[in-house]
Amino acid sequence: MKNNFNKSSVLTGCASSLVLLSAIAASQGAMAHGYVEVPPSRALLCQQGVNQHCGGAQSEPQSTGETFKGFPNGVGGAPMQGPIDGKIASGGIARFSALDAQSATRWHLTEIRDRNFAFQWQYTAAHPATKHEYFITRDGWNPNEVLKRASFDSTPFCTVDGGNQPPIGGAKHNCVIPDSKSGHHVILAVWTVADTANAFYAPADVNILAEAALPGGWQPVGSIAPSTPLLVGDKVKARAFSATGESAEYSVEISIDNAEEGKPENWSFKLAEAINNAHTLIRAGVRDAEGNITPVNGANSLYAQDESGVKRYEVQLDMKEDAGASMEISSLQPEYVLDKGRVSMAFTAQTNRRMNLEATLFDEKNKQVGVVSQTVGEGSTGLSLDVRSAPGAHTLTLVGTTEDGRTTRQDTQAVTLTGEGAGIEYDFVFPEGLRDYTAGTKVLQPKTDEVFECKPFPASGYCKQYSPSANGFEPGVGAAWQSAWDKL
């Protein structure tokens, strides 16, 4: 037998083996996954829908923040040097980069009211652990800067030896949060894996309200979180509540006297200052290292002495209508031509404020035959309404609400549709009006462009049995639609 020796094929085979071994090694390293469950990590709250716009973290909270071990030593991004500054939350993994965004309001804060705290991990694939460490942001850290090594205390406030053993299921670590820490902080939980070069870095965004951080008998009772711009004449009231109900004595109200005061950070400062001027047993502001509570232009915390009886505060905005806001329909043709019952109806909305608009077209029987929603800025904005209807007189209604919700404007104009109708009348476009379906109800199924009629009783009961997860009776589409509907 003649054996053909091919040097290149041997080299290719060796290279393939090396690639395969590398892939196996990489997959073994990637198999270690987990997340902090208590308090919930930034990524876990993404999966739960509390945090929004999280990219890939929403589906993989257990995979975020995996990179080289060694935090906080070195410059980052290399073995034994930990994560790169600015990419601590994502671990430098591109699909998790949304987690690296950082501001005072970007992420939901979990309240911590006891400094004796049990951190809890959940592991989806547990590898042996060298240790678990818990770092916390420095006193006076800037919550509007990306997370860096310099954002955190250089030593962990809690370390748990892993003993090079795999943490089975969920692990609890009893720690004590330092007395100096109060208010908004980020706790960075680090799980260092024993049998790979990596560690998992899981930030948890917290609001520490534990009593130990409040010398002088001050108790946290709420906060002034400015977010909405206000207009001259608007009012803001800090409503105080005791154990038995609202306390008028300790409630404080301010008015917005000029445009500058209406800026969120400024009215928050004005309200905090008014509270401090009105009462000695209540304080509003931010605590410094000496325990002094001073108002700032921005978010302010509220504190009370037990003697006041105040247990909590609520901030209430009394906003007057924006009398200058306007909105109208423009560039609407008097007539649009249907093609087999359809037309794309283009028109223009003119606004002088940023608004949420909803345009609805009704036929002669006041049945909705087209609707579109859009957020627009100031000026002229083109809108397009996909219409399914029959020839005849119609009414276009445009409703606009300013983004702050304080003002609504409406404009209604008549329009005529001509041309060719769809041929079959219907009552609803499925699934609109679902709860009103009865025997004889006709619906247009937009997925098939066909009209279906709900069968007589008792089959008519199935016409309402629809949901996105259980659509067996959806007309023309569900597996059992013929039990409920007749196609016209």
Residue 263 φ then ψ, to 5°? -65, 135
According to the model, what pLDDT value does residue 29 have?
38
What's the pLDDT band for 215 if we cut at 50, 70, 90? Answer: low
Interior/surface letters 316-349, b for 16+ CB within 10 angstroms, e for the rest: eeebeeeeebebbbeebeeebebeebbbebebeb
The span from the CA of 147 to the CA of 101, in Å, is 9
According to the model, what pLDDT value does residue 468 have?
61
The span from the CA of 328 to the CA of 350, in Å, is 5
What is the pLDDT averaged over residues 307-330?
A: 92
Query: pLDDT: is 160 or 465 the higher one?
Result: 160
The span from the CA of 287 to the CA of 141, in Å, is 13
Superfamily of domain 33-211: chitin-binding protein cbp21 (2.70.50.50)
According to the model, what pLDDT value does residue 88 have?
92
According to the model, what pLDDT value does residue 74 have?
64
Alpha-carbon radius of gyration of the chain: 31
Residue ranges of alpha helices (H) inside 375-435 are: none
According to the model, what pLDDT value does residue 57 have?
83
Query: pLDDT: is 362 or 215 the higher one?
Result: 362
What's the pLDDT band for 471 if we cut at 50, 70, 90? Answer: confident
Contact (Cβ atoms closer than 8 angstroms) between residue 262 and residue 248: no
Residue 399 has pLDDT above 70, yes or no: yes
The span from the CA of 462 to the CA of 486, in Å, is 12
Query: pLDDT: is 468 or 453 the higher one?
Result: 453
What is the pLDDT averaged over residues 446-459?
A: 90
Query: pLDDT: is 263 or 22 the higher one?
Result: 263
What is the pLDDT averaged over residues 359-387?
A: 93
According to the model, what pLDDT value does residue 278 have?
95
What is the pLDDT averaged over residues 417-440?
A: 86
The span from the CA of 89 to the CA of 95, in Å, is 12
Q: List all residues 6 or more positions away from 120 whose beta carbon is below 8 Å from its beta carbon.
A: 36, 37, 38, 170, 171, 172, 173
What is the pLDDT averaged over residues 50-74?
A: 84
Most confident of 190-204, 315-329, 417-431: 315-329
CATH architecture of 327-419: Sandwich (2.60)
User: Domain ranges in the chain?
Assistant: 33-211, 214-318, 327-419, 428-487
The span from the CA of 97 to the CA of 88, in Å, is 10
Torsion of CA 69, 71, 77, 78, to 10 degrees: -50
According to the model, what pLDDT value does residue 31 have?
46
Q: Which of 32-41, 95-104, 149-158, 174-183 has the lowest mean pLDDT?
A: 32-41
Q: List all residues 6 or more positions away from 303 whose beta carbon is below 8 Å from its beta carbon.
A: 214, 218, 219, 220, 221, 282, 283, 284, 293
The span from the CA of 260 to the CA of 274, in Å, is 17
According to the model, what pLDDT value does residue 16 have?
36
Which pairing describes strands 170-176 and 219-224: parallel, antiparallel, or unpaired? unpaired
Give me 286's structure tokens.
Answer: 């931010």
Global confidence as pTM = 0.46
Residue 380 has pLDDT above 50, yes or no: yes
Contact (Cβ atoms closer than 8 angstroms) between residue 83 and residue 71: yes
Give me 346's structure tokens.
Answer: 């283009």
What is the pLDDT averaged over residues 11-25?
A: 34
pLDDT tens digits, one per residue of 107-122:
988 888 888 888 988 8
Q: Which residue has the tokens 């309240």?
A: 111
According to the model, what pLDDT value does residue 20 have?
33
Residue 186 has pLDDT above 90, yes or no: yes
Mean pLDDT, rounded, of the chain: 85
Q: Which of 41-55, 159-173, 329-343 has the lowest mean pLDDT?
A: 159-173
What is the percent of the chain where pLDDT is above 90?
45
| N residues, the chain | 488
Residue 452 φ then ψ, to 5°? -125, 145
Give me 449's structure tokens.
Answer: 């462009």
What's the pLDDT band for 32 if we cut at 50, 70, 90? Answer: low
According to the model, what pLDDT value does residue 17 have?
35
What is the pLDDT averaged over residues 181-192?
A: 91
What's the pLDDT band for 147 if we cut at 50, 70, 90? Answer: very high
What is the pLDDT averaged over residues 310-326?
A: 91
According to the model, what pLDDT value does residue 2 have?
35
According to the model, what pLDDT value does residue 170 have?
65
Of 446, 444, 439, give the one whose Cα is nearest residue 463.
439
DSSP 258-286: STTTTSHHHHHHHHHHHHHHH-SSEEEEE
CATH architecture of 214-318: 2-Layer Sandwich (3.30)
Residue 24 has pLDDT above 90, yes or no: no
The span from the CA of 430 to the CA of 176, in Å, is 56
What is the pLDDT averaged over residues 379-401?
A: 94
What is the percent of the chain where pLDDT is above 70?
89
What's the pLDDT band for 183 if we cut at 50, 70, 90? Answer: confident
Strand partners for 236: 254, 317
Residue 370 φ then ψ, to 5°? -175, 145
What is the pLDDT averaged over residues 23-43?
A: 64
Query: pLDDT: is 338 or 162 the higher one?
Result: 338
